[in-house]
Amino acid sequence: MKVSVTVNSTAYERDVEPRTLLVHFLRDHLGLMGTNIGCDTSQCGACTIHMNGMAVKSCTTLAVQAEGAEIVTIEGLASNGQLHPMQQAFWDNHGLQCGYCTPGMIMSAVKLVENNSQPSEAEIRQGLEGNLCRCTGYNNIVKAVKAATIAGGD
């Protein structure tokens, strides 16, 4: 089947099998390896991307369901050589250890702050509950999200 999508402001059209998952489409068909696969069962959030303005787990979305969609992946957050404020906040606050969860964590955090520009610590923890960090670096992740809101949010 053909699927046409816009990813990080670039239009793509590719032939895919109907069973192709969006995460595999992004990684294997488009070569965007920043979106990770941690579980394949919608639990870890490592595969989180933005689709039509919403944070979506791309391991439980078929590529064909993205037909016509606007997608942003972690590769699309920085602009003009500048990290997105959320990426910068993770960097500044050491919001990562091995980094495997980080792309998904950041994609979820960006949407969290878009929807609530001044989240409390509890709201940050709740907003990121769909993203697991196996290194258990949650305290610095929360600190990073808080810092991003202080720095001006999204």
Contact residues for ligand FES (CB under 6 A)? 37-40, 42-47, 57, 59, 96-102, 133-135, 137
Nearest in space to 43 (alpha carbons), one of 132, 113, 108: 132
The residue among 10 and 111 lying less far from ligand FES, judged by its C-beta, is 111
Q: How far is the CB of 48 from ligand FES (least distance, A)?
A: 7
Q: How far is the CB of 106 from ligand FES (least distance, A)?
A: 11
Q: Which residues, 6 or more positions from 51, have their beta carbon under 8 angstroms from its beta carbon?
A: 22, 58, 61, 66, 69, 70, 71
The residue among 24 and 79 lying less far from ligand FES, judged by its C-beta, is 24
Q: How far is the CB of 11 from ligand FES (least distance, A)?
A: 25
In the chain, the N- to C-terminal Cα span, in Å, equals: 36
Asked whether the beta carbons of 117 and 138 are under 8 A apart, the reply is no
Q: How far is the CB of 43 from ligand FES (least distance, A)?
A: 5
The residue among 76 and 137 lying less far from ligand FES, judged by its C-beta, is 137
Nearest in space to 38 (alpha carbons), one of 29, 50, 27, 51: 27
Q: In angstroms, what is the C-alpha Rg of the chain?
A: 15
The residue among 25 and 100 lying less far from ligand FES, judged by its C-beta, is 100
